[in-house]
Amino acid sequence: MTVIDAHMHLITARMMAGYRERNAARREAAREHARFRGQSFEEWIAKLERLTLAEQARTWLEQFDQAGVRAGVFIAMNEAIEELSEFMKTDPARIHGCGSLVDPTHPDAARTIRRFPSLGIKALKLYAPSHRVHMNDRLLYPVYEAAAECHLPIIVHFGITIGTSYDLTFANPLALSAPGRDFPDVTFIIAHFGAGFLRETMFLAYHTDNICVDTSGTNNWRLFVPGEPSLEQVFRDALRTFGAKRILFGTDSTFFSGYRKQIVEEQVAVLNSIDLSSDDRDLILAGNARRIFGLG
């Protein structure tokens, strides 16, 4: 069984510092509340400063081996594409990169995306509740155009988030309906089964065949929706609507948590409990990531 983790996060001291600076203008109470796993930005930055990119990579690869994972796609915490590119060079066969944008409405956003292929970056990540712009806003169409030109898939986070600058007004994945229609040559991947918007995510499967979903994270958003569906039921719903060819496995692992081996075990157990062919299981665990991200 081959596993490729299609949704992980690269976080460095420089990325954390940039994130902190962007939030400097927020109310002091909000800044104090914006802590990651009980620690302040400064505490995490101090820990990350002691790690080189090579050391981070070595740790991740050791944890991949322990979890039986072949490779991972790492999403940069912010617009640090050179640092992401350097990280990928530590092991190009197993470490792949997905770039992010601080502000996708910025006039230079499309230009930044067009640099991705030369840096070896495989995809783009957008974070709707934190960008505070609806994904169907025409201001974002230059970004989609650039992604189409560069043959880059786009991962989009909708729904519940631990991001400290979120606004859930922008969290509904139905905003992807028009871009999905207008850019049929771009593969859009909705992270975390829509993170609380599973119904709306499934609606999109009906209208378009270039919108996918990933399974990443603990999916504890299930605790905050009516009925609290089991993870098995979520998988069954996604398989019924998207089919195995449009579902990608992921753990949402970060430096803060380390590699989430337990998520691999939990989700593989769910896939094994469902009446699913081995070919379809392999597509979800690795084949779709290979095809969509263009991995060797």
Quote the radius of gyration of the chain (alpha carbons, Å): 18
List, for the chain, all residue ranges whose pLDDT scores fall below the cut of 70: 20-39, 41, 163-164
User: Strand ranges (DSSP E) for 105-250?
Assistant: 123-127, 154-157, 188-190, 211-214, 247-248
* β 95-100/154-157 pair status: unpaired
Structural domain including 203 reads 4-293
Domain count, the chain: 1
CB 213, CB 189: distance < 8 Å: yes
Q: What is the pLDDT of residue 46?
A: 78
| pTM metric for this prediction | 0.92
Tokens representing 71 are 């490779």
The amino acid sitting at 235 is: F
Tens of pLDDT, residues 160-201: 877 667 788 999 999 999 999 999 999 999 999 999 999 999
The CATH number of residue 183's host domain is 3.20.20.140
Give residue-wise pLDDT tens across range 92-119. Answer: 999 999 999 989 999 999 999 999 999 9
- Give yes or no for a contact between 92 and 67, defined as CB atoms under 8 angstroms apart: no
Residue 136 is predicted with a pLDDT of 97
Q: What is the pLDDT of residue 38?
A: 60
| Residue type at 95 in one-letter notation | I
